Chains A and B, each alone.
Chain A
Amino acid sequence: MTGTHASNPGNPVIVISAGDNVATALEALDPGRVLAGGAGAVTVRDAIPRGHKVALTRVAPGAAVIKYGSSIGVATEEILPGAHVHTHNVSSARGRGDLAAARQQPAVAGRLAEPDNGRDA
């Protein structure tokens, strides 16, 4: 879906698409570690486990977290550069029947609303 993404030897994070506001840690990162980046250095704020995401820019509450060049959910609180980005501060916008039940309204408005249970998919 995205362009090619080559990792560099020794680089502890990978940014998949230009415009992503998170990077993926290829090794565990300790707070204080400085990540060199095209747009400027980011200092790691939290312990980031291997494979988890670190914020590259500030993400405002309710704003989209971008990886692979697409939204992977919205920030549930302010996320500062260098912060651990995971389930504690990002929420999925999809398949949220819990929110729909709470709001008592259809949550898939704007999408095709017609259910299709047939085998003619």
Chain B
Amino acid sequence: MSARPSVGFLGYRRPDGRVGVRNHLLVVPTVICSSVVSERVAAAVAPIGTALPHTAGCGQLGPDMHLTHETLAAYCGHPNVGAVIVMALGCEQVVAQTLADAARAAGKRAHVLAIQSEGGTIRATEKAIALARELAAELEQAPRETCDISELILSVKCGGSDYTSGLASNPALGRVADRLVDLGGAAVLGEVAEIMGAEHLLAARAPNADTAVRLLRVINRVESEAMALGLDIRGTQPSPGNIRGGLTTIEEKSLGATHKGGERTPLADVVAYSARITRKGLTVMDTPGLDVESVTGMVGGGAQAVVFTTGLGTPTGNPIAPVIKITGNARTAVSMRDNIDLDVSGVLDARETLDDAASRLFDEVLAVCSGRQTAAERLGFREFAIHRRNPTI
């Protein structure tokens, strides 16, 4: 390999070789029935403690059950997590022990508590909080160490888009994705419905026909699903807010949105929801456009940090990964300032070039990966939603 400049951040090197940017104690409910207890346990040791409250884990058909299990297991093994408590009820479909095994396989301490065998929710909560305090104290002692940027998988996301997204924030983020990949890192782009209309540009960046075909197949599936229902995708894409913001069609939204995946980075892979991202370069993940489900899946795939561009402003965070918000809309930068980390609106009135905006964003990503809190983290936004494709039975 040719020599390249070493760019680093202060992260957590894990026993399995992966690198984290946070060191959370993760409290994972196996099922909706243990979600409230999990949140209470995590809250007792916040902000190091974080929970994954969800509405699944039982009454699910095969493919959805698989998706729930894979996603929860992926979070248990995620490098932003230092230790895991699995809160089970006791009679659910998700097998608690397999989640603990996923954490242990990554070299993390993991414990399972089942509410039905601990003598009820009060006893289970008390016991879990005592355990959480012990684990959190241990995690707080762990030092950050210098890690190379090539260890980073950055999720690129947009939401609440308006005309500024395609003109300023997405191209700035795309330049960051290109630079990250130049330095040996990886980026992941989801929301396949929002690639519709721009897939020809991404397919042209695939190194081989197989990767291009896998991309087109996923996009075709989403389009076919809308077709099969006899529905017009315009009912949701673009959203009413997008249309008020000046976006007319899904093609226009997609062309603006795909900027955030870089201008030249090769399309390295196309993966399923929450599936582990293993290739350098740009990976497309098959996620829905719904912000929280999309971010949940990309972090499940191993992204340690998210850059989320927004025109109108959104609160979305994640339980274990920092979500950096940037906007190209000067009004939103003021009206939603509590939620915005970086204002790149200067690109639109020539106060700043795209390259300068991208450079500031790159520095922000490194600072956040080294521990700087994002707006979403400060505000406690930790939304988590597992995608589902079938009815609950």
Enumerate chain A interface residues (CB-CB to B < 8 A): 1, 4-9, 14, 16, 24-26, 49-53, 65, 67-68, 70-73, 85-87, 90-101, 106-108, 111-121
Which secondary structure dominates chain B's binding surface? Answer: helix
A97 neighbours in B (Cβ, 8 Å): 226-233
- B243 with A87: CB separation less than 8 A: yes
Contact of B249 among A51, A91, A108 (CB under 8 A): A91
Q: How far is the CA of A90 from the CA of B163 in the complex (A)?
A: 16
Q: Does B252 contact A (CB under 8 A)?
A: yes
A50 neighbours in B (Cβ, 8 Å): 246
- B233 with A121: CB separation less than 8 A: no
- A107 with B350: CB separation less than 8 A: no
Contact status of A98 and B230, CB under 8 A, knowing A53-B248, A114-B217 = yes
Contact of A70 among B201, B227, B347 (CB under 8 A): B201
Q: How far is the CA of A39 from the CA of B379 in the complex (A)?
A: 50
- A1 with B218: CB separation less than 8 A: no
- B255 with A1: CB separation less than 8 A: yes
- B223 with A1: CB separation less than 8 A: no
Contact status of A95 and B234, CB under 8 A, knowing A7-B348, A120-B272 = yes
Q: Does B256 contact A (CB under 8 A)?
A: yes
- When A and B form their complex, which 8 residue pairs have the shortest distance between CB atoms, in order from nearest? A95-B233, A51-B246, A51-B163, A101-B230, A92-B249, A72-B252, A119-B272, A98-B232
Q: Does B166 contact A (CB under 8 A)?
A: yes
- A73 with B231: CB separation less than 8 A: no
Q: How far is the CA of A68 from the CA of B253 in the complex (A)?
A: 11
Tell me which residues from 67 to 86 in chain B have a Cβ below 8 Å from any Cβ of chain A.
67
Q: How far is the CA of A1 from the CA of B251 in the complex (A)?
A: 14
- B255 with A70: CB separation less than 8 A: yes
Q: Does B30 contact A (CB under 8 A)?
A: no
Contact status of A113 and B251, CB under 8 A, knowing A6-B350, A16-B167, A108-B227 = no
A70 neighbours in B (Cβ, 8 Å): 197-198, 200-201, 251, 255
A106 neighbours in B (Cβ, 8 Å): 227
- A100 with B233: CB separation less than 8 A: no
A120 neighbours in B (Cβ, 8 Å): 272
Q: Does B220 contact A (CB under 8 A)?
A: yes
Q: Does B353 contact A (CB under 8 A)?
A: yes
A52 neighbours in B (Cβ, 8 Å): 163, 246
Q: Does B275 contact A (CB under 8 A)?
A: yes
Q: How far is the CA of A95 from the CA of B218 in the complex (A)?
A: 13
- A107 with B227: CB separation less than 8 A: yes
Contact of B223 among A51, A65, A91, A94 (CB under 8 A): A94
